[in-house]
Structures are given as C-alpha cells and as structure tokens.
Amino acid sequence: MYVQDLILEVTRRCNMACEHCLRGDAQNMDMSTEVVDQILEHCDSIGAVTFSGGEPSLNIPLIRYFGQKTDEEIKECLKPIGAESLHECVSVYGGGVIKKSDSEKFLGMLDRHNKERSLFMKNDRKLADLVYKTMCDVEYFYTGDKEEVLRYLGKSPEDLWTDIRLKKAWEKAEARHKRLARKTWIG
C-alpha cells in the first residue's frame, strides 16, 4: 500500500498543559515498536512522515527506531542497483532512483528512446496506433482527455492544431476506439 502522508502519534505524554490543545489531557502512553513494525509491514511506500503526540520529542527512542527500520528497508530496495544509500542516488521521473554514477548512461538511454519514438512517430499508421495505445494506457483505462494523452506523447494541445499528421492520427484513434467500444457493447 502506498501512503502519501503518514502521521504517527508516537506518544500521548506531554510536558505542557496548553489550554488550546485539541488532544485533550496528556496520558502516559507511548506507541510501541511492534506497532511501527506492523505499519511498515503494510506500507510499500511512504511519501512523508509526521511525528505527532502529545509531545513527540518525549519519545525520541521510537522516532529513532522508525528511522533505523526505514533505513534498513531503503538499503534493501537499493541493493538491485548496487547502491548503499540514497546519497549515491538521484531521483528520476516516475518515482524511481538510479545511482549517480549511472546517470549519464541513463540519460543516453533516454535520449535514444526519444529519438526512436520520434522516428516511430514519422510513420502515419504507427503514429495513430501510438495515440490510440496511449489513450487506452493512460492510468490503465481509456481517456479522451487530450491534454493528458498529449503530455504522455510529449506533445501539447496546440500541436493538434499545427501538426496535421498528429490531428489525423488523433481522429483515427478516436474512431478506432468508438468502433471497438460499439462492438464490445453490441456483441
């Protein structure tokens, strides 16, 4: 499961007695390491973590434990690319990471991919197929959202007006989808 924002109430203890506090009265309760383990067991990815309380700084050992566990998990994830820590890596579009030492090789591969795509898109039939496939693959369901599909193709809505080939490919792809949708609905 992907968790975008994880908020952990690491303790209900508090060394203050603020009148405006929404948490209510302090309690002598701390989150256990077992709870942290269970949370991490069910999370494949966490976007951001906020430590909450009571007063979170009263349970520093649990916050450190969380950090150690996530460091271990990160190291496991980095093994396949041969990195030991995130300091050796750079982020790439789509949420992945690569080793900094591999970034030139990666950029070269990306450049070759873009050149191949450009050549591929010069063939009218292949361009129509690519537009249709992209319409169907964007987030794994059909979308007629022009901006989203065009963004995936590296194009803009203005390109539909200025690039006659792209406009024709778009029209063919839409017609193909309508034809296939009608067949599926009828039979």
Mind listing the pLDDT tens digit for each residue in 127-168?
777 776 766 654 445 555 677 777 777 778 788 788 888 888
Domain membership of residue 168 as a residue range: 121-186
Same domain, 57 and 9: yes
Mind listing the pLDDT tens digit for each residue in 75-114?
887 788 888 877 777 776 555 777 888 888 878 887 777 7
Domains in the chain, number: 2
Convert 25-56 to b/e letters by CB count within 10 Å (16 or more is b): ebeeebbeeeebeebbeeeeebeeeebebbbb
Same domain, 126 and 176: yes
Q: Which of 51, 81, 111 is the last residue of a domain?
A: 81
pTM for the full predicted model: 0.47
Q: Which of 81, 105, 133 is the last residue of a domain?
A: 81
Q: Is residue 19 part of a domain?
A: yes
| Lookup: tokens for 133 | 């496939």
Same domain, 136 and 71: no
